[in-house]
Amino acid sequence: MLVTTPGTLVSAPSVQPCGLAREASPVRVGLIGCGAFSRFSMHHYRTLPGVSIDMVADIQPDAAHRAAAELGAKDVASETILACPDIDLVYIATPPALHFQQARSAILAGKHVLVEKPLATTVADAEELRALATARRRICVANLIERYNPLAGATKQIIDSKLLGELIHGLFINEAADEGLGRSHWFWDRKTSGGIFVEHGVHFFDLVASWLGPGRVLSASRGLRPGCDPPVEEQVMCTCRYNGVLFHFEHGFHQPSRMDRQEMRLVFERGELQLFDWVPTHGVVRGLVDDAGQTMLMQMLPQANAYPLEWYEGTQQRLLGRFKPFEASAYVEITFTTGLDKLGIYGKVVGDLAADQIAWIRESTHVRRLTEADSVASVMMACAADEMALAGP
Ligand SMILES: NC(=O)c1ccc[n+]([C@@H]2O[C@H](COP(=O)([O-])OP(=O)(O)OC[C@H]3O[C@@H](n4cnc5c(N)ncnc54)[C@H](O)[C@@H]3O)[C@@H](O)[C@H]2O)c1
């Protein structure tokens, strides 16, 4: 046995190689950072088949003890996790400014790494992590869960199908609660969080990139909470272009929890799609369609119900938009839902992302839905928006 921190015993290193060479063994996870979010995500990781959460570490002893007890894991120092050859995957859930150094150390120790978002708080650091991980054939992705939502997949199908015509523009309005974020929370300290675009916006830059491909930030601004010293950045906004499609993002953290609300709206030539909640649980499509179009839309959406708003007959079916003629037999509203509540869908996407990445650890021919390149791209968008917002007018 090896003594690491006072009173903490861990197994001496075994000769068994980690990860790719041990496909039949469980994938063993070490957690660094036992705070609010990792308590949630670990609850979902532990239900994944063939995954074992073996060790946890936190600079706050109470947080580490509690997580260790909840997970049936050993409470150790971070260095012990990195030094243990039995640990395959390190999940880092500390505040953002720590991600780069902790992820770098973990990759250098031969571990796969799943980092909470953002991957890093600068583009250079994010690029370095990607390069290191690629060179060492290790995973190093940020926990960008949005693209794993079945509603994100359905939205992509609708965009690509062009059943509602071309996508013209998108809008994400995020009126988030700050009730759990007291004045001294690291979230408000830009040196620790990276600012709202970096800490939070990365989720949505990645989601839209998963639909439309790479984006570019055109303009950005931010709003400070009046009367606060040091300054409190409480809202940010930016306009981007993704393959010709304009997208506007607004993220504000200024609402009581009961008023926390979000809406994603995609405007097409012949309709629109709305998703509700920041990890969307349900939504609605409204559009001018014919019978076949309605059927196909309903097949793409989970638990869909159609409500015709208007019917058209004869020459009424001939319509015109963007200089283009088209025909539609109805103006229809289609509601859809995952059937899960907010925490239900949140837990599902957290588990699905981890399962997708772990599948690659088991078998490197597995094609992941989220890569290191995606994780870096979201940091690039966030840092570009942040720089523009800071430069401000
Ligand atoms: N993917 C998501 O949907 C999602 C949601 C919420 C938070 N997050 C991310 O999760 C991360 C953590 O957020 P949180 O809300 O859990 O924060 P938190 O403050 O509740 O937890 C952070 C934990 O890290 C510990 N810590 C700090 N420095 C450490 C160090 N050097 N070594 C080990 N432990 C250390 C702290 O003691 C604390 O327990 C952030 O990056 C945040 O952006 C992601």
Q: What percent of the chain stands above pLDDT 70?
A: 94
User: Token pair 């990365």 is at which residue?
Assistant: 202
**Residue 96, Cβ neighbours under 10 Å: how many?**
25
pLDDT at 1 over 50: no
Say if residues 237 and 252 touch (Cβ distance below 8 Å). Answer: no
Q: For the chain, what is the largest distance between any 2 Cα atoms, rounded to a whole number of angstroms?
A: 84
Q: Which of 5, 43, 94 is the best mutation target for the ligand 1 pocket, counting ligand atoms within 8 Å of the beta carbon and taking the most? A: 94
Q: Does residue 121 have its Cβ closer than 6 Å to ligand 1?
A: no
- Residues 209-219: tens digit of each pLDDT: 999 999 999 99
| Higher-scoring residue by pLDDT: 293, 11 | 293
Q: Which of 44, 58, 189, 204 is the best mutation target for the ligand 1 pocket, counting ligand atoms within 8 Å of the beta carbon and taking the most? A: 58
What is the Å distance from ligand 1's center to 110 Cα? 23
Q: Name the pTM for this structure.
A: 0.93
What is the Å distance from ligand 1's center to 50 Cα? 25
Q: For residue 24, what pLDDT is reported?
A: 60
Q: Does residue 114 have its Cβ closer than 6 Å to ligand 1?
A: no
Cα–Cα distance between 378 and 361 in angstroms, integer? 23
pLDDT at 13 over 50: no
Cα–Cα distance between 221 and 12 in angstroms, integer? 52
Cα–Cα distance between 241 and 248 in angstroms, integer? 9
Say if residues 329 and 290 touch (Cβ distance below 8 Å). Answer: yes
Q: Does residue 63 have its Cβ closer than 6 Å to ligand 1?
A: yes
Q: Which protein residue's CA is at the shortest distance from atom 18 of ligand 1? A: 35
- Under the banding of pLDDT at 50, 70 and 90, the label for residue 19 is very low
Positive or negative, the CA dihedral 229, 235, 237, 242 is: positive
Q: For residue 156, what pLDDT is reported?
A: 98
Cα–Cα distance between 66 and 106 in angstroms, integer? 23
- Under the banding of pLDDT at 50, 70 and 90, the label for residue 393 is confident
Q: Does residue 262 have its Cβ closer than 6 Å to ligand 1?
A: no
Q: Which of 91, 116, 343 is the best mutation target for the ligand 1 pocket, counting ligand atoms within 8 Å of the beta carbon and taking the most? A: 116
CA 288 to chain centre: 32
CA 7 to chain centre: 37
Average per-residue pLDDT for the chain: 93
What is the Å distance from ligand 1's center to 79 Cα? 18
Q: Does residue 97 have its Cβ closer than 6 Å to ligand 1?
A: no
Q: For residue 3, what pLDDT is reported?
A: 29
Q: Which protein residue's CA is at the shortest distance from atom 27 of ligand 1? A: 94
pLDDT at 11 over 70: no
User: Token pair 């793409």 is at which residue?
Assistant: 300
What is the Å distance from ligand 1's center to 296 Cα? 42
- Residues 80-136: tens digit of each pLDDT: 999 999 999 999 999 999 999 999 999 999 999 999 999 999 999 999 999 999 999
Annotate the chain with three-state secondary structure.
CEECCCCCEECCCCCCCCHHHCCCCCEEEEEECCCHHHHHHHHHHCCCCCEEEEEEECCCHHHHHHHHHHHCCEECCHHHHHHCCCCCEEEECCCHHHHHHHHHHHHHCCCEEEECCCCCCCHHHHHHHHHHHHHCCCCEEECCCHHHCHHHHHHHHHHHHCCCCCEEEEEEEEEEECCCCCCCCHHHCHHHHCCHHHHHHHHHHHHHHHHHCCEEEEEEEEEECCCCCCCCEEEEEEEEEECCEEEEEEEEEEECHHHCEEEEEEEECCEEEEEECCCCCEEEEEEEECHHHHHHHHHHCCCCEEEEEEECCHHHHEEEECCEEEECCEEEEEEEECCCCHHHHHHHHHHHHHHHHHHHHHCCCCCCCCCHHHHHHHHHHHHHHHHHHHHCC
In 3D space, the residue among 289, 296, 118 whose CA is nearest the CA of residue 205 turns out to be: 118
Say if residues 225 and 232 touch (Cβ distance below 8 Å). Answer: yes
- Residues 338-353: tens digit of each pLDDT: 999 999 999 999 999 9
Q: Does residue 343 have its Cβ closer than 6 Å to ligand 1?
A: no
Average pLDDT value for residue range 2-17: 31
CA 302 to chain centre: 21
Q: Does residue 78 have its Cβ closer than 6 Å to ligand 1?
A: yes
What is the Å distance from ligand 1's center to 52 Cα? 21
Q: Does residue 60 have its Cβ closer than 6 Å to ligand 1?
A: yes
Q: Does residue 33 have its Cβ closer than 6 Å to ligand 1?
A: yes
Domains of the chain: 2-144 (3.40.50.720)
Q: Kindly tell me the burial class for residue 39, based on how many C-beta atoms sit within 10 Å of its own C-beta (0-12, 13-18, 19 or more).
A: middle
The β-bridge partners of 272 are 267, 286
Say if residues 37 and 94 touch (Cβ distance below 8 Å). Answer: no
Q: Does residue 29 have its Cβ closer than 6 Å to ligand 1?
A: no
